[in-house]
Amino acid sequence: RSDTIPVLPSIALDKDNRKLNVNADTAAAAVAKFIHAEKLIFVSDVPGIFLNRDDPTTLQSHLNATRCRELIASGVIDSGMVPKVEAALEALQAGVKKVHLVDARIPHSLMLEIYSNQGIGTEIVL
């Protein structure tokens, strides 16, 4: 249905009904691909991608896939942000038009990211 927003847990069951921890970003990207989503939004506890994690002025409001790969290769994007960005890139390759990374701790972060020119997080496109 076009008026549905999927919200997914990051727990799955194996064939023996044992609970498995699934990377939530990977799962969300897979669902976005499956439903042919136009946008995928990752909501977390970080504002987005920084060129320097210690300098909030280096938050990148817009990146393309090539630049993301460069930042991963150079170590600028590291640790927990790597699987998130890799999931974003997989979704983009599968036809998702935009991926947004926003900080859930900021009131109205989703609205500010989607409905403003610069946004408050990071938008990733092909």
pLDDT at 1: 58
- What's the CA dihedral at 24, 25, 31, 35 to 10 degrees? 140
Q: Quick one: average pLDDT of 9-20?
A: 91
pLDDT at 54: 95
Q: Quick one: average pLDDT of 85-112?
A: 97
DSSP 73-113: HTTSS-TTHHHHHHHHHHHHHTT--EEEEEETTSTTHHHHH
pLDDT band at 100 (very low <50, low <70, confident <90, very high): very high
Which domains occur in the chain, in start order?
11-125 (3.40.1160.10)
Contact indicator for 95, 40 with CB cutoff of 8 Å: no
Encode pLDDT of 19-62 as tens digits. 999 999 999 999 999 999 999 999 999 999 999 999 999 999 99
Q: Look at residue 123 and give its three-state secondary structure.
A: strand
Q: Quick one: average pLDDT of 105-124?
A: 93
Residue 36 DSSP symbol = T
pTM (predicted TM-score): 0.88
Measuring CA to CA, which residue among 122, 8, 103 is closest to residue 46?
103
Rounded to whole angstroms, the Cα distance separating 48 from 45 reads 9
Percentage of the residues of the chain whose pLDDT score is greater than 90: 86
pLDDT band at 10 (very low <50, low <70, confident <90, very high): confident
Q: Are strands 62-64 and 19-21 parallel, antiparallel or unpaired?
A: unpaired
